[in-house]
A and B are shown apart, each in its own frame.
Chain A
């Protein structure tokens, strides 16, 4: 792999940038692999990367129906934080944040992880109870999260309106300073490049149309580019996971719904951190390019059309202007949607399935970007060893039968 650095750029400048190596190849599928990963989002590519790097399994293909990183990975608002309530979640998401902190170096690719602080606003007594519960629990789990008064929140994020006369005034906030954002494309591309360099075939425009199961054991996949045999198959297909699992003969406890986002026109730096408000449904940060990046809520109805209701987006803008009235004259530049796969307890499923050697990593819903490195890391372990890493052991498919849920939804109704 060609090392990237300021020196390599300078060297290449001398040759007019004509000698860069390809970041990844565009290989033809081979007839068989040790592991086939379905879905080249961040989680799938990361899984292949860690399979190769940590487990020495390099005869791996990542199959992608479109272009790599074109699913939710390339559509999300990139909020990263780990101040989740339950011990299981704190372990998983904090594992991820720790990997984020070193990911640029790990991949020799600048993923622009920017720990600018994620502030979650409380608007009523109930919010205060819930967020304080998080602050207390996070501290004892070794995850940073602090309680701010409304005035402290404003000091941390000057554009915020804490007008007590607002319809839902801000009464306080929980702040995770280690939280922030990263560059979504760079995550997919960095993992793709790293996996490719270790021999993984990333095969785009290759849709999986069937999963071959013999005697309760997976043997390969059917694709738009022919049949591919595989000793193990790992499904990491976000909103389309249930479709794929149906091909393998079992149903998943998932609902797929559109989630939308939008950006404003670029502006000079005005917004220093990430702000989330679940009560009014607004998620806001400013990208390095200067665009306000705004996340909306999910549609109420299940759907596979990558387009959500206009009213959802408008409602989000209403909330944004409630919190930040100075943005009223800014303009929406682009809007889009992605299909997110939501489990009943809003926590992911990472592990084995009823079919032997077939694994899933899904259910990240509205908030799985932040987990990309951690999820990929433990999932690679699971696929390589055939059994879960201690961190993802609680995230079984089985838990919906036993009732041992990790109910972050109930705990906070928090998205992202």
Chain B
């Protein structure tokens, strides 16, 4: 039998389009326009989940995103698995497959329900008090069981096949919520010509109007028609963008907001191949009109969590919006007038309706309800309910003016649906996220927006104005003002609303069921009862934050939308104080849980971070290079030939550079163009050495220190003109150095006229090194005298290489004769090819970063960041020569501190292992006494360590305490396998200490 609870007509579903869906393996029929929740209810299914802690059977409570209970796993296969999805917001499509969660083996029979029987042993915070013995058992025994029982849905096990996009937009007016207030605001703002964005969670505009029947005399018949008209008008305004299925998730500072649009979630997978699954809008709005409505509060009574117990507004929505009769024997339990509308609508739709009102008198709707056949029970409360998998019976008692039970105890009343209304909470979440204050309104018994520090305004129900008329008028005025238009006297809206009687707050419904198992739930999802709040208070907790954390109330995926105010009020009542005295709770982003994938958008896989490639990259790739990540760059690491491993390739590359020549792609080195009248003076302060006299045409190596005196970066800088320098930095350090230069220029030395520009990617840089470097390069060069004396080491020249304008720097990081050819990046590949061709007869090799590392280490050249780590001074590196005696520079003061002058600081040394074949691990620690028990005294560590074909053995660089005075000593390096390697301390320069090869 399909859709047994679908009404014959009415609602916004298309009965002509039945579709099939599956829940827990069983196939059902629903309609286009249904949500999963409405379709399940249409089939008479109320039991949809099990609760978090006690595994109690649970049903659908709400009709919107505030749903605490009805969480399901949507399983569409192929990686499309969505845990904890609220059935109330899942739009039905043909083939939808959903499963219930947190039950084993089935919803009807769940072994976890034993927790419910044992619940007296699980008061709030029980886990803090027990599972303590023996000490290791928590981690090994108890915790795994708790983890197994907790959690709700199951994490997906495959990657996500869907796409997500980001859009960035600006607007003058952002309107959030398309109920009457939001529509009126958007219309008014739109009419003034402003750029407006209107967002709403629902697939269609109308907000609360969608659930009104619109056919009853008591509601202005035109209400829904108003929504339709408004939608059409807005669609015709070119400056207005309407985003449905879009939830405003975050309100941040400076009116920056994020909204999550569910673009294709309502379609079967694959039906919109060109569309993303979801789109994250990042909106910068001049003004924001918040029109997010109000959320109905449950009543807290014993047994209020059985399937079939739902919010009155939800019951009404299922009937009027989706054409579903949520029950045939309906009990409405309320403390305010709004639930009367639900009672009337349901009675007219054929349900047998009883209405229990905690108040002695209701407003004007009472007589209408009676006329519709609703049995009214004033001053009556529900003290308990029955029914294992669905509510079957409620027990009613009368109360006196003080809220005490009087007369006969708990009279049973059969019912299959219990609609509750505890009043309305203005939906102040966004106002609060924007750091607006909240004030407690006694007549509503709810928090309403107070002062708003950001340019926004709340209108309609979210501002505590629950009337249609007020929403329209307030919305229109806010829209006009937000758009900067004159405030005109409000249009007269002809809504004539029945006179309402005030609500009577009854935060905790009295009950005669005092036993251990009598549970009145405050937070359905986290299974927090009023009694749990009591336990927290008994234990002396007073701050609402403590109570929240101790009981976990409001910490579920619904973020306490239906529970927070009830919890506060119950605490206040127990403490005999006012709600605001207990506090409010913080509303944190996001408003509803937001998909990780949507927040990430395109930034994944290869787009996770930019990949920077040099102009030579493709060539290297074609040559079979293996690459390494350095910062965001891909650098050629080594160039293995067929059959070679890294070790063999590096040996070959090293030998070739020392014996003939090698070509290295140095394009990734940071390059900064420093110019201006004070450029020289600036370098003189930034570097530790002297720069005032460097002539045009020459280069100099420089060390940069942080202000604490530690080495930060290094590189060669060339003087191009008297007021212009070409600075180079390490590859990874380039952005940091530029930021550093700018920081000094902008904050400390604004008087210096210096301009720094990153030119890293403007140049291709090719380092040609080796005894034959000149022979290879010279034939390609025009306009430069390449003679060793005419073009000495540490000079630069400009001319042409392979017909292309070039700067050649005669510098070397290998200890061999070296030329760094710089050409505009676009010519890089051409010039590289020319050098490569010219080098063929000399047996040129291309070498990668690993060979570069070996060669420079043989020479004792340090790599900043490898041989230094931010705790190393120039003196520690044996580079006192580079620290000028006179004049200030960044880091000078730091260097003067006593600890930086100690003799026993860690200093750079060379190490040779006793076993020449042993290549130490970089990072290995050095000790003097290998027999000392743990903890051992470590005196240093290995910073660089390689096998050297030139030395015919391994060698290493290390930082060792008092290293300068330890030359010749034997030290020890304990290995991870427990053995100990003996090493002798040597000078860190292993090759050509006089530097003859450099000048060749």
Contacts and interface: CB of A to CB of B under 8 A. Distances in A.
Contact of B156 (A135, A265, A288, A329): A329
Given A4-B129, A9-B121, A112-B143, A140 B135 contact: no
B258 interface: yes
A335 B871 CA distance: 36
A330 to B, nearest CB: 5
Contacts of A401: 897
A110 B546 contact: no
Contact of A330 (B138, B155, B708): B155
A328 B597 contact: yes
A120 to B, nearest CB: 14
B603 A318 contact: yes
A393 interface: no
Contacts of B609: 167-168
A389 to B, nearest CB: 17
A62 B92 CA distance: 56
B1000 interface: no
A126 interface: yes
Interface string B391-417: 000000000000000000000000000
B139 A116 contact: yes
B128 A109 contact: yes
A142 B870 contact: no
A136 B923 contact: yes
Contacts of A9: 121, 123, 126, 129-130
B534 A18 contact: yes
A14 to B, nearest CB: 8
Contacts of A23: 539-541
B921 A136 contact: yes
A38 B922 CA distance: 44
Interface residues of A, number: 116
Interface in A1-40: 4-6, 8-10, 12-13, 16-26
A398 to B, nearest CB: 10
B540 A12 contact: no
Interface in A51-85: 66-70, 74
Given A112-B127, A265-B152, A333 B559 contact: yes
A327 B81 CA distance: 10
Contacts of A101: 135
Interface in B79-128: 80-84, 120-121, 123, 126-128
Contacts of B80: 329
B899 interface: yes
Nearest to B583: A67
A269 B147 contact: yes
Interface stretch (B475-483, B752-760, B934-942): B934-942
Interface stretch (A206-214, A366-374, A405-413): A405-413
A336 B121 CA distance: 33
Contact of B151 (A126, A142, A290, A410): A290
A183 B605 CA distance: 34
A247 interface: no
Given A13-B121, A105-B132, A267-B154, A411 B871 contact: yes
Contact of B160 (A116, A329, A404): A329
B494 interface: no
B253 interface: yes
Interface in B668-721: 708-710
Interface string A99-112: 00110110011101
B557 A265 contact: yes
A112 B138 contact: yes
A294 to B, nearest CB: 9
A253 to B, nearest CB: 11
A377 to B, nearest CB: 18
Contacts of A12: 123
Nearest to A105: B135
Given A327-B596, A403-B900, A268 B252 contact: no
B148 A269 contact: yes
Contacts of B147: 269, 286, 288, 290
B256 interface: yes
B572 to A, nearest CB: 16
Given A265-B84, A410-B869, A332 B922 contact: no
A314 interface: yes
A240 B870 CA distance: 27
B143 A114 contact: yes
A270 interface: yes
A141 B83 contact: no
Interface string A314-332: 1101111110011111111
Interface residues of B, number: 108
Nearest to A320: B596
Given A24-B540, A110-B128, A403 B708 contact: yes
Contact of A141 (B130, B595, B597, B935): B935
Nearest to B895: A403
Interface stretch (B34-42, B362-370, B585-593, B769-777): B585-593
Interface in B145-167: 146-148, 150-160, 162
Given A136-B924, A314-B600, A321-B600, A266 B540 contact: no
B220 interface: no
Contacts of A336: 588
B866 interface: yes
Contacts of A66: 543
Given A22-B538, A25-B540, A333-B559, A8 B156 contact: no
B53 to A, nearest CB: 10
Given A147-B976, A269-B148, A403-B708, A335 B925 contact: no
A403 B590 contact: no
A29 to B, nearest CB: 16
B894 interface: yes
Contact of A114 (B138, B516, B605, B866): B138
B128 A186 contact: yes
A413 to B, nearest CB: 9
Interface in B765-815: none
A297 interface: no
Interface string A102-143: 101100111011111000000111101111111111011110
Interface in A262-311: 264-270, 280, 286, 288-290, 305, 307, 310
Contacts of A26: 540, 542
B439 interface: no
Interface string A347-374: 0000000000000000000000000000
B722 interface: no
Contacts of B596: 264, 317, 320-321, 327-332
Given A68-B546, A159-B155, A310-B258, 6 more contacts: A4-B130, A17-B538, A26-B540, A289-B150, A326-B157, A329-B160
21 contacts: A10-B121, A13-B120, A67-B545, A87-B938, A104-B135, A124-B628, A126-B865, A136-B924, A137-B925, A266-B52, A267-B154, A268-B152, A269-B151, A314-B599, A318-B608, A319-B608, A327-B596, A330-B596, A332-B596, A403-B709, A409-B870
